[in-house]
Amino acid sequence: MSAFYHRCRYFFLPLFFTSLLLAVTQYSLPKLQTWHSVIEQLPFWLLPVVMIIALQFNRSRLAYLALLLLAYCYFLDQSSSTTLFDRYPQQIFLAGIFTVTWFAFIKDRGLLSAHGVVRILGVLLCFAAAFAWIWGNTQYKSAIDNYLPSMITMEIRTLAPFYLGAMLVFVRGIWQANLVNTAIFITLALWAIHSLMPELLSVSVSITALAIVYILTVLTDSYFLAYRDELTGLASRRALYNLVLSLGRKYSVAMLDIDHFKKFNDTYGHDVGDQVLKLVASKISQVRGGGKAFRYGGEEFTIVFSRKDTSSILHFLEEVREIIEDYDITLRNEQRKQQTKAKRGKAQSQSKTVNVTISIGVSEHQHGETFEQTLKKADQALYRAKKKGRNQVCV
Ligand SMILES: Nc1nc2c(ncn2[C@@H]2O[C@H](COP(=O)(O)OP(=O)(O)OP(=O)(O)O)[C@@H](O)[C@H]2O)c(=O)[nH]1
C-alpha cells in the first residue's frame, strides 16, 4: 500500500465522512424538529457505549476522551455548573486543546492501570496549564504588549496553544496515519468549532458525531487488526480463510515463497529483510487476472484466483515473478542519517542494489476437494519449483 493511499485511507477519508455526516445532520436538523430532543440525549447513551467498546479493544485514549466528553455533557446539563463554563470559557477551551494534543502523542495503556493515574494527573495538569496561560496573559498584558509586535494581539496570544496544538495533531495524523490519530484530530477540530463558533455546531450534534466516529474507529481498526497483516498491509491468513467460505467450485491457488530468504536475512539483517518483504508484498498485491493476495505467514504468500483455471493464470504469475526478479532494491547506507551532506554523495555511490527472486506453485481446485487439499497441492508444486532451481512457476 503506497504511503499516499495509506494517508488517504486512514486520514483524509474519515475526515471527509465526518464532515459529510455533520453537514447532513446540520442541514436536516431544522426540518426534523422531533429529533432535537433525541439528539440532545444521544451523547449520554452513546459515550458509555464508546467507553465499553474502546476498553474492550484496548483503545484507552478514546475511552478517556469519551469519559471526559461525558463529564462535559453532564456538567453542561447542570444549571449550577453552567456559570462555571460561562465564567471560564477560554480556560475550558484551552484545557480541552491541551488534553487532546497530549493524547495524540501518548500510547493506549489501559484505563485502570498505573498509567491511568498518570492520565488523570495529566488531564488535571492540562487544566492547570490552561488557567495559568490565561492568567499569565491577562496579568502581564501590558508587559507582553510592549515586548511583542502590536499585530500579536491578546486574542492571538490566548489562542496560540490552539494553533500550535492543531498543527501538531494534524501533522501527527498525517505522519502516522491511523484511525485513532484521525479520531483524535477530529476531536480537536470539533472541540474548536464548538467552542469558537457555537452557533455553527451545537454541542449535542458534535458530541454525537464524535461518539459515532469513535465507535467506527474502534470497530474498523479492530477489523484491520484481525484481517490485515501489519508488516505488509496485505490481507492476512485469517482473511484468506474467510474468502474460502465464499469461493465457488472453480478457482486456482498459488503459493509464493521468497528464495533463500534466510540467507538474505543473515546477510543484511532482519530489518532489511522486513523492508524487502514489504516491497515483494506490494508487487504481489498488484497481480493481474483478478488474483487476491494474502500473506500466508513468514515469507510465504498466497494468491487466490476465483473462477479461473490454471492455464489462464500462469501468464499473470509469470509476470509477477519477472517483476520481482527485475526489481532493483536499493539498500540504504545505515549511517546515512548521521552523515553530513558532503559525505552523503559518497555514501550514495556506496549504497548497494540487490535483487530477490520468488518461486511459485500453482494448483487448480478439483471436484470434491477441500480448500486445504488444493492449497497443499500448490505447496507441493512450490516445493518442486524450489527443487528445480527456484525462481520459476510450477504446476
Ligand atoms: N525479516 C523477516 N524475515 C522473516 C519473516 N518471516 C520469516 N522470515 C524469515 O524467512 C526465512 C525463511 O527461511 P526458510 O524457510 O529456511 O527458507 P529460505 O531461506 O527462504 O530458502 P528457500 O525457501 O528454500 O529458498 C527465515 O530465516 C525466517 O526468519 C519476517 O516477517 N521478517
ipTM of the complex: 0.96
∠ CA 49-54-191 to the nearest 5 degrees? 80
Distances (CA, A) of 251 to 25, 64, 196, 290, 311: 45, 47, 58, 11, 11
Cβ of residue 389 lying under 6 Å from some atom of ligand 1: no
Q: Place 336 in a pLDDT band, splitting at 50, 70 and 90.
A: very low
Q: For residue 382, report the distance from its CA to the centre of ligand 1, in Å.
A: 15
Q: For residue 394, report the distance from its CA to the centre of ligand 1, in Å.
A: 20
Contacts of 177 by beta carbon, 8 Å cutoff, 6+ apart: 6, 7, 9, 10, 11
pTM of the model: 0.73
Residue 291's beta-bridge partner residues? Answer: 305
Q: What are 13-35's pLDDT values in tens digits? A: 899 999 998 888 878 877 777 77
Report the nearest-CA residue for atom 13 of ligand 1: 262
Question: What is the pLDDT of the chain when averaged over all its residues?
Answer: 89
Domain range list for the chain:
3-227, 237-337+344-394
**pLDDT of 317 over the 90 cut:** yes
Contacts of 191 by beta carbon, 8 Å cutoff, 6+ apart: 93, 96, 97, 100
Cβ of residue 259 lying under 6 Å from some atom of ligand 1: yes
Q: What per-residue confidence (pLDDT) applies to 34?
A: 76
Q: For residue 270, report the distance from its CA to the centre of ligand 1, in Å.
A: 10
Report the nearest-CA residue for atom 4 of ligand 1: 298
State the architecture of 237-337+344-394 in CATH terms: 2-Layer Sandwich (3.30)
Q: What are 264-308's pLDDT values in tens digits? A: 999 999 999 999 999 999 999 999 999 999 999 999 999 999 999
What the block records as the C-alpha cell of 213 is 466516529
Contacts of 282 by beta carbon, 8 Å cutoff, 6+ apart: 1, 2, 232, 233
